[in-house]
Structure 1
Amino acid sequence: MNGTARQLSNVRSVSLTAAALLAAISAARADDGAIINRWYSALLVADRTELSELLADDVRIKLDDLGVVQSKQEFIVSIDEWKSAIAGAAIRHRIEKSEGGVTTVIACYDFPDNDMLMQETFAVTDNRITASSQAAIAENCDGY
């Protein structure tokens, strides 16, 4: 093989490696989106088992408005209280961006007597949520 053919072969090899890497990153983002969709579905019905499966054992859930950081166990214990709060409600969400392993979501919580617009972030590793934070961005969902 001459020098030009060898260079072409190297360029093709690098291009194929880059394409494979981009495909893997895209698949990971799609998986993160599926995890987040499962999260909101489980949250809407206060499914302790599903929520527990989605959370890493060492997860930290930061509730910015309350100044609280919960462990997995603390979060799961709070689900009973959440179950009565979410009764008759709806949750709409959309992924705003996903970069650096963190996905940012805008979520509208439509409670029977009011609604609230939230910005929530999720770090996902190995199909488990390893960190989450949420903060209110509006007292209603008009901006959703």
Structure 2
Amino acid sequence: MNITRNSLLVRLAGLSLVAGIYAASATISASQSGLPEPVDTWYEALESADHETFDQIIAEAASIDLRFLDIVQTKDEYIESLDNWEEIADSVSIRTKLISATADSATVEVCYHFPDNERLNVESFVFSDGLIRSSVQELKAETCDGF
């Protein structure tokens, strides 16, 4: 196989472009996702298990329905459960994709990439006055393939 200097440079440039696109898509944070404000803030807070922010953005009478665990939590129960999440938050990559949104609701596909596995959720939110009123989280797949 005869590879000229120019063809090698073209191939390297192509690989660099692909690697750059992959790196950019893999590092998009929730804050760059175009999600509605309270939902965007939710994922930003989740990245660091920020109890204080969750206390500010979740309405007092809110319900958080973790369907994949068959658990419905109150605001206080959800915030308390963040203690467990805090132990792994630094090792989790969270990627989001807005599926639909209205003035008071949003549905998001979320890829949670853990060190040993990943999961794809569909998460729906109802919000008003800047507060999350409800969240329903459902497991869509045990992998984020095609996300």
Tell me which interval the TM-score lies in, with the shorter structure as reference length: 0.7 to 0.9
Counterpart check, 1:61 vs 2:64: yes
Per the alignment, residue 124 of structure 2 pairs with 121
Cα-Cα RMSD? 1.6
Q: 1:132 aligns with which of 135, 139, 145?
A: 135
Where structure 1 has 5 or more consecutive residues not aligned to the other structure, the ranges are 1-30
Per the alignment, residue 21 of structure 1 pairs with none
Shift of 1:32: 6.7
Question: Are the aligned partners of 1:32 and 1:127 in contact in 2 as well (CA < 8 Å)?
Answer: no
SS of equivalent to 1:78:
helix
Q: 2:82 aligns with which of 71, 79, 85?
A: 79
Q: Following the alignment from structure 1 to structure 2, what is the Cα–Cα distance between the partners of residues 100 and 126? A: 10
SS of equivalent to 1:143:
coil
Where structure 2 has 5 or more consecutive residues not aligned to the other structure, the ranges are 1-33
Q: Following the alignment from structure 1 to structure 2, what is the Cα–Cα distance between the partners of residues 60 and 46? A: 18
SS of equivalent to 2:91:
coil
Q: 2:100 aligns with which of 84, 97, 102?
A: 97
Shift of 1:76: 0.7
Q: Following the alignment from structure 1 to structure 2, what is the Cα–Cα distance between the partners of residues 32 and 92? A: 12
Query: Which 4+ residue blocks in structure 1 deviate beyond 3 angstroms?
Result: none
Per the alignment, residue 143 of structure 1 pairs with 146
SS of equivalent to 1:97:
strand
Shift of 1:100: 6.9
Shift of 1:101: 2.6
Identity among equivalent pairs (%) = 35
* 1:90 maps to amino acid: S
SS of equivalent to 2:36:
helix
Name the TM-score, length of structure 1 as normaliser: 0.75
Question: Are the aligned partners of 1:44 and 1:91 in contact in 2 as well (CA < 8 Å)?
Answer: yes
Q: 1:32 to 1:89 in 2, by over 3 A?
A: closer
